[in-house]
Structure 1
Amino acid sequence: MEDRYAGCYASLEDVAASLTEAAGGLEQVPEHIRGYINYATMARDMELCGDIFTLEAHVQEVHVFCNR
């Protein structure tokens, strides 16, 4: 379980933004288009597809575990 823990975030949107940035995914996207990326939808899809498992501990405290 420890090796799958990705950290604690304020929201699911922050999770998607952080994981995308860490994977180098934004390097391919032009700067003027980055504002149109919908991280909330990405995070929801990641959770629904089983890529991540989340536990909400408190308001603005989401613990994330990566399944892949």
Structure 2
Amino acid sequence: MRQLFLCLLLLLGLSSVAFAQSTAARLSPEQFGYRRLVVMFGRDSVQVLLMSKKGEEQLKKPLLLWE
């Protein structure tokens, strides 16, 4: 009985309608309020996303990088 219930549950789960995110509305980080910077780290470039409060966008602040 337990195996029959699990098989039915599996079939119902696999046959249900699946929804996915659409790729039509791809938003950039800038639209979410982030700034994208490219920092050279040795010979590699590292992309950094920064979020600042209003009025503090151009203030220099320390940046910590770790692996």
TM range (shorter): under 0.3
Rg larger in structure: 2
Judging by fraction of residues, say which structure has more helix. Answer: 1
